[in-house]
Amino acid sequence: MDEDAVLDRLRAVEDPDLGDDIVSLGLVNEVTVEPDRVAVSLALGAPYSPTETGIAADVREALSDLDREIDLSAHVDSGLSPDEQVLPNVENVIAVSSGKGGVGKSTVAVNLAAGLSQLGARVGLFDADIYGPNVPRMVDADQRPQATEEEKIIPPEKFGMKLMSMDFLVGKDDPVIWRGPMVHKVLTQLWEDVEWGHLDYMVVDLPPGTGDAQLTLLQSVPVTGAVIVTTPQEVALDDANKGLRMFGRHDTVVLGIAENMSGFVCPDCGSEHEIFGKGGGKAFAAENELPYLGGIPLDPSVRTGGDEGKPIVLDSDSETGDAFRVLTENVANNVGVTKRQQQSQK
């Protein structure tokens, strides 16, 4: 048994999204064969995504009869040295955006981050809404960040997520009244001066619109992809389209469209009411040839969870929690598709 023989076996493993085998796609970084061990390094970049977990399982199955220890690892080479990277220990940065306020963007960001953590991933949640930070309340985190001897910020943790928000650094009721250059400076410092450690995903909750925070993120951080949140109504879709164009101008991949408040099921009669319309987000995704990540119903328990600091995605008995879990898996899978496509094109 040599490396070529192992590669021949791995040619039987298909990538379900890219439509070819992992060897032909360049998704096998390295194979090492030892008397009692076979080590395979795979170019998979979306930890704990269902699809990439399945690919790894198929690799193990293809090598299962070798009577040797199978050692799998995953690594995607960015092509940059650690000194050249802004966040060298963060594998994926996911920006959660909306063209307008009031569509539940922070709710989606919090539940996405908590859902990824629930899958087993190492997650950071960055609240980049300088003027209206809501994340600490939505996860019931009121502790202040600590600092290292090197004056690096140690982020608080909740539900397995490392957190950073302007709300931790100012008084609870103190407004932030800054011009754009100050916003840019503070956001840059928070990204670079926080001890994030090794993260599989950093979820960034952006403020509404297409302003200073968005430009700072896109110009200074390697964003893996963006999630655009909208409600079904036309007014929200008009603004979501502006956000889509913004990401396009900065060559940022859009991982998909999430439709929030997609319908309300009456707890008394059981009938569904389309308060903000229905299907607008799905149609918007189809029109722009983007993935549809799923619809989240208008559910009072989402509001309760946000106010009490208990993300509903963590409630295993909730149907709305199920909707957020589907959205989380779709986002993780699309991160994987993005990274594997990039690898196969090298």
Per-residue pLDDT of 150-209, as tens digits, reads 888 899 999 999 999 888 776 565 555 555 567 777 787 777 888 999 999 999 998 876
* Cβ within 8 Å of residue 308, ≥6 positions away: 140
Nearest C-alpha neighbor of 260 from the set 317, 323, 331, 314 = 323
Q: How many helices (H) and strands (E) does the chain have?
A: 10, 17
Question: And the tokens for 179?
Answer: 């011009």
8 A C-beta contact, residue 309 and residue 139:
yes
What's the rounded Cα separation, in Å, for the pair 72 and 340?
A: 17
Residue 276: the pLDDT is: 64
Rounded to two decimals, the pTM is: 0.91
* Cβ within 8 Å of residue 112, ≥6 positions away: 94, 96, 203, 227, 313, 324, 327, 328, 331
For the chain, which ranges sit under pLDDT 70?
79-84, 131-132, 170-181, 209-212, 264-277
What's the rounded Cα separation, in Å, for the pair 39 and 94?
A: 30
Residue 136: the pLDDT is: 87
How many Å is the Cα radius of gyration of the chain?
21
* Cβ within 8 Å of residue 321, ≥6 positions away: 312, 313, 314, 315
What's the rounded Cα separation, in Å, for the pair 167 and 176?
A: 10
Residue 171: the pLDDT is: 57
What's the rounded Cα separation, in Å, for the pair 310 and 303?
A: 10
